[in-house]
Amino acid sequence: MRAFGEAAASAGEAKRPSTGFATPAPERSARLAPARRAGLFIRSGIHFARKCSRTPGVNAVPTQPPAANTALPAWTRRETLLVAFAILVFWGLTAAAYQIGGVTIPWDAKSQFYNFFRFVGRALSQGELPLWNPYHFSGFPSVADPQSLLFSPTFLPAAWILPQASIGLFDTIVLAHLAAGSAAAAALCARRGWRPEAATLAAAIVFFGGPAMGRLQHVGLVVSYAYLPVCLLLLELALDRRSYGWSMAFGATAAFMALGRDQIAFLNCLVLVAFVLARGLRAPAAGRWFLARLPLLAVMGLVGAAILVVPLLLTLQFAAFSNRPMVAFQTAAYGSLDPFNLVGLFAADFFGGLHKADLYFGPGSPHWPAFDWTDRSVNFLHVGAAATVLVAWIGIATGLCLAPGLRFFSALAAASLVYALGAHTPVFRLIFDLMPGISLYRRPADACFILVFAIAMLAGGCLDAVMRGKTGATNRVLLGMLAAVAAGLALFALTRAPSMTHVLVAVRALAGAVFAGAIAVWLIRTLAAGRAGRAGPAFGLGFVALAAGELAIHNVTTPINAEAKSVYAVFSAEPSPDRDALRQLLGSLEAEHARGRRPRVEILGPENGWQNAGMTYGIESTLGYNPLRFALYERATGAAETAHEPRLRPFPKTFRGYRSRLARLLGIELLVFDQPFERMPAALPRPRIAELREGPPLWIYRLPPAAPRAMLAARVKRVNVEAALAAGEIPDVDLASEVLIGQDDPIDSVPAATDAPGRATAGRVAIAEYGINQVRLVAETEVAGVLVLHDLDYPGWTVTVNDERRPLLRANVLFRGVELPPGRHEVVFRFEPFGGENLAAALATVMGRK
């Protein structure tokens, strides 16, 4: 703390008489040691905003715009440091709460994102960029996966620097994104001339707000949410200063945000477009305003497109080959926010979602009469009773929310609420059918992230108005109506409680909200009436402390965003049965690799990070956990989203167990179950297996040797892949000497099986190098043959034979192959998704010209 204060103090500021803004003294800040400069990370986001000129049309007091060129009040250095310090406290105490409590952000944060992070770090430490992922669903295009973290300007360098980061350190990195978003929100408040207390309140709601904390497991959504205030700040600076530098900074930042390729990133882009339109249309001469900033907008677009276009094109290419290129309306409708969830804005645990016991009875639970696909984390909206009272009373009931300085955020809150309610309003169907891009996403309730950001900015503006004594008269009828709606929703929801226990939980939550709301009313009355006098800042800080404390108590390390670290023992260095099983599994794989073999592993049943642990530890798994999957592979193997659960794992005709032809081609030789084989579902065929490890909690089995990863075939059989999968049959093939080839693939010299009957081999092949994006093999052939590499075929893979490009064949339904003439050859398969040929093919696929 002292070091932070000294570092901030040494970066002294000199006041400019003409504008009232502060600028750092460079000769003093230059003397700062690098370690001490690190303490200014959060403050820098606020500082650069303060030293930029403000737009004349932006309000210092949101009730009326100042005259043109009126200087807005600048924060002092002390005020700036206090806001920065508060944000650091939010981040530091939250991260410490996870560490001290021995808990971690659960579920997808560990099953998916932590494993992706470790995979990226693993690849970078080996000198490779992880464009392809061989450890996920038998091979996966990471370059096209929105959740791969590959294009994240924060996670990518973090993975490079910390390739073996612990789960606790990863949590701290995730929370740092929220701190950055909070700092940007505070800077937006500073540019509007709002008091530091108001900025701190907005920052607290952005950091601790219900969707952010309730859905910490969805790391990608949380990061996209944190980008929104950062992008708005840079966009505002670019437009107000008419600066090409800020325009380029915004274009790059917005592009990286869009590369999250999730629904929040998509909606954020719409928000940014709306912000530009609102700012221009509000200008006195809208036409001249847009014309003057047209070059800036062009720079933003060009910079953003340069970063975004190729990754987005590859993602759209993958979507065309994936299991979900588009979402049906009814699927999206089931992800709508039930209006009764709005009670959670002020009563955090009304539906019992914050209890470890199964007490949740709200929308998405078996107790709720209306069916939807949300859950207690998706429905968690809590921004606190204090903030709710402030916005409802000062913002809505006095009409302050319609003032120029708050009008955009009010419209944003209304629009995001309507979108989040989804099928509960008639508007969503029109939006879904008419607006491009909406049908790619399945959960309109995701818009609650944007709703809470808008509420944060409204709360900041309302507190600033209260502290300055600039509030208008209260419309008591409107305020009464708001209170009646809130009470009505709560009372009617109570009637749906399935037991008295649930009623008591809800009543206790309401009582806590009433208590916090009563204190908030007293503080607001005291400030608005001017009774606080010189203690006004202290009362303002008291309100901020009330709001932030209420959020921290209810939203940090709860059962919906925290789970014991011991649950994820597979990622811990501490001794445990999971670690013993992992060690034995890795030992078996290392022994096989030493023999030149590369068997795959089916992990069926274990959860708590095991589904994708192959990415962390280099285990080539046939399954995984990812909402996006290669559709052809899913159809052939049954590797659906819930395939890691034994009783939900389908076994299609093409994959009737682990001794089926396709299982042998995949090279499955090791099985990891969470129960003995004899207890697995009866539908699972029982092959001959050897038990390597007897649990609990994990059982490891070895299957007989499967087909080699690479082989040479002397004869070919033509097959219609689509027809074979539709019929559920893979044609008979002699795995030792024959290969199935697609009907349209060119074959020059290798005879068909019908023309060359009898058993024959083409020669020998060995894997000389097996990397993430490249596989090098050495083959010796006595006759013309087809080299088959049992790795998944996917657009972007190329093959060379003795440095000469050759056509890539679809071999054995799912895999890669290349025709070889007699002789000794070096064959290299490379994944080149950024090559011109693949990008042209991707564009043709996206345009519907496959």
Residue 352, phi-psi category: left (phi > 0), alpha (psi -120 to 50), beta (remainder): left
pLDDT digits (tens, 9 = 90+) for 418-438: 999 999 999 999 999 999 989
Separation of alpha carbons 117 and 612, rounded Å: 11
Secondary structure E strands in 335-437? none
Residue 149 confidence class, pLDDT cut points 50, 70, 90? very high
Pairing of strands 600-604, 668-673: parallel
Tell me the chain's radius of gyration from C-alpha atoms: 30
pLDDT for position 440: 85
The enclosing H or E element of 693 equals strand 690-693
- Say yes or no to pLDDT of 447 above 70: yes
Omega of the bond leading into 650 within 30 degrees of 0 (cis): no
Phi and psi at residue 469, to the nearest 5°: 70, 35
Query: Could you tell me whether strands 797-801 and 823-831 are parallel, antiparallel, or unpaired per DSSP bridges?
Result: antiparallel
Strand order in the sheet with 715-719: 710-713, 785-792, 815-820, 809-811, 738-742, 715-719
| Overall average pLDDT of the 649-660 stretch | 89
pLDDT of residue 722: 83
pLDDT > 80? residue 480: yes
Query: Is the per-residue pLDDT at 238 higher than 80?
Result: yes
Residue 325: predicted pLDDT: 66
C-alpha 332/C-alpha 347 separation (Å) is 27
* 363 within 8 A of 373, measured Cβ to Cβ: no
Phi, psi of 723 (to 5 degrees): -65, -40
Is residue 199 within 8 A of residue 456, CB to CB? The reply is no
pLDDT at position 648 = 87
Contacts of 492 (CB under 8 A, 6+ apart): 340
Q: Is the peptide bond before 696 cis (omega within 30 degrees of 0)?
A: yes
Mean pLDDT of 496-524: 97
Enter the pTM of the model: 0.90
Among 118-127, 440-449, 669-678, 741-750, name the one with the lowest average pLDDT.
741-750
Q: pLDDT tens digits, residue range 31-68?
A: 334 334 344 433 444 444 444 434 333 333 333 333 33
797 close to 829: Cβ distance less than 8 angstroms: yes
What is the rounded distance in angstroms from the CA atom of residue 380 to the CA atom of residue 181? 20
Q: What does the pLDDT look like over 668-687, one tens digit per residue?
A: 999 999 999 988 876 677 77
Instruction: Give me the numbers of helices (H) and strands (E) for the chain, helices first please.
Output: 29, 19
Collapsed DSSP state (helix, strand, coil) of residue 725: helix
Q: What pLDDT sits at residue 326?
A: 73
Average pLDDT, the chain: 89
Q: Is the pLDDT of residue 21 over 90?
A: no
Q: What pLDDT score does 20 carry?
A: 29
179: nearest Cα among 212, 151, 218, 146:
212
Instruction: Answer for the pair 86, 201: CB distance below 8 angstroms, yes or no.
Output: no
